[in-house]
Amino acid sequence: MARDRFLQSVQRYFDRAAAHTRYRPGLLRQVRTCNAVYRMRFPVREDSGEIRVIEAFRAEHSFHRMPTKGGIRFSRRVSLDETIALATLMTFKCAIAGVPFGGAKGGVLVNSSGLSAGFRERIIRRYTAELIRKNFIGPDVDVPAPDYGTGEQEMGWIADTYKNLRVNEPSPYACVTGKPLSMHGIPGRRQATGLGAYLAIRTCMDVAADMQALGLTPGIAGKRVIIQGLGNVGYHAGVALQNQGRALIVGIIEREGALHAPDGLDVQAVHDYRQLHGTLHGFPGATFVAEGNSVLEYDCDVLVPAALESQITGGNAGRIRARIVAEAANGPVDFEGERILGERGIMVLPDIYTNAGGVTVSYFEWLKNKAGVSFDRMVSRHEQMTKIQIVAAIERLTDQSIPDSIRDRLLRSLNEEDMVIAALDQTMTQAFENIHQCWKSRELPDMRTAAFLLAIEAVAESYQQHGIFP
């Protein structure tokens, strides 16, 4: 099954990178192993009054740093192996981004679409209660977040349930991230994963030597991009690629089919059309392709799989015509698929780097909730007074007045979202530089091996500092 292959691919990526380390086998086995898994079944009343037994999971992969961190997925495809694979990736994603968490993941075996709001709320609140029962959630224990099929509303229900069941918890809202702003969320979290993917692609494509080897000019501007998935991640990645990077979005793939337009698509217009009509079919000015995934194989410069795992495999990797595959989803390229892409000279930006934006901004939200104060409140007034003094000094030294339009920009204080986005940009840029330097200096086969190697070494060093492993 694809879900079994997903876990196998993650483990094979690990083993390939681990072969380049100096650590003893016992320590590497600990870094590779999923530390704790909770498989549960619980009853939930449907709107009709019938009782449905829901199956769900929570996996905590690594306790080298606490709390563990990872999203909750609603899907009929979710399985225990998939949950473990995703938790494993989260451990290494956090290590790459410099976020001090272990990896975790949750899954609920239900169809994410077609659920009434009341039934969805009852599922998520009961799931939260089950996690509390076994100590699989808490600000210093395990902190969930949104994933496929869940969003801000579900995270708000989790926070409310936890707050009311753990009445003496000093920082109850830090038990979950990705919450609505009205429940102590953080600006920028909604678009963080997609925006992080854009920043990863931008940083990668600014390396002239690498782009020359791929037959591309540096920079995103004018490059043809195909995006698979127009959910939260794909939508925000597409908007940033189009508006900030000035890329040409020539294809968008969804469950019901795909759109292709060599002259480009307006991502916002496509998103709005699908929200209104429930389908891509009929969107004006583009060709609708009923077999949507075939568009993965269309000619483009950058392919952005932003849906589910195992979309590029040994079966179709030989037909992929992109120069760069940027994994905005978790595990969209399996081990055999990546081998074929590598042989064909196609660069893969690995998921544990490319989609690390979500957990990075989740970390900022967790810090904000633990501190009980927003970041801008601490610095905005001081920053504004400093800028006023600098502008006054410039005018005095030059004996000239700064135009009002320029003055307004100079004096504008950063708000919390500005600070979050700037910190995300810095994180993605630094992480890429670390991976790229490791890839080149240690003569590794690809960036995924370099990313896994850096992450394994970070986790292993943490375990050694605990004194467990000599």
In order, the DSSP letters of 6-29 are: HHHHHHHHHHHHHTTS---HHHHH
Residue 374: pLDDT band with limits 50, 70, 90: confident
Mean pLDDT across the chain: 92
pLDDT at 376: 62
Residue 409: pLDDT band with limits 50, 70, 90: confident
pLDDT at 4: 66
Average pLDDT over residues 391-405: 79
pLDDT at 428: 97
Active site residues: 105
Poorest-confidence range of 45-59, 207-221, 348-362, 412-426? 412-426
Handedness of CA 164, 169, 170, 174 (dihedral sign): negative
Residue 333: pLDDT band with limits 50, 70, 90: very high
Predicted confidence (pLDDT) at residue 379 exceeds the cutoff of 70: no
Q: Which helix (H) or strand (E) holds 225?
A: strand 224-228
Average pLDDT over residues 285-302: 94
Domains of the chain listed by start with CATH number: 37-185 (3.40.50.10860), 192-357 (3.40.50.720)
Residue 403: pLDDT band with limits 50, 70, 90: confident
Q: Considering only CA atoms, which of 60, 5, 62, 58 is closest in space to residue 28?
A: 62
Number of Cβ atoms within 10 Å of the Cβ of 350:
28
Predicted confidence (pLDDT) at residue 448 exceeds the cutoff of 70: yes
Whole-prediction pTM: 0.90
Answer for the pair 162, 176: CB distance below 8 angstroms, yes or no: yes
Answer for the pair 251, 300: CB distance below 8 angstroms, yes or no: yes
Predicted confidence (pLDDT) at residue 283 exceeds the cutoff of 70: yes
User: Which tokens belong to 446?
Assistant: 């690809």
Handedness of CA 409, 414, 416, 422 (dihedral sign): positive
Predicted confidence (pLDDT) at residue 147 exceeds the cutoff of 80: yes
The answer to whether the bond into 144 is cis (omega within 30° of 0) is no
State percent of the chain over pLDDT 70. 94
pLDDT at 387: 67
Predicted confidence (pLDDT) at residue 2 exceeds the cutoff of 60: no
Predicted confidence (pLDDT) at residue 248 exceeds the cutoff of 60: yes
Predicted confidence (pLDDT) at residue 377 exceeds the cutoff of 80: no
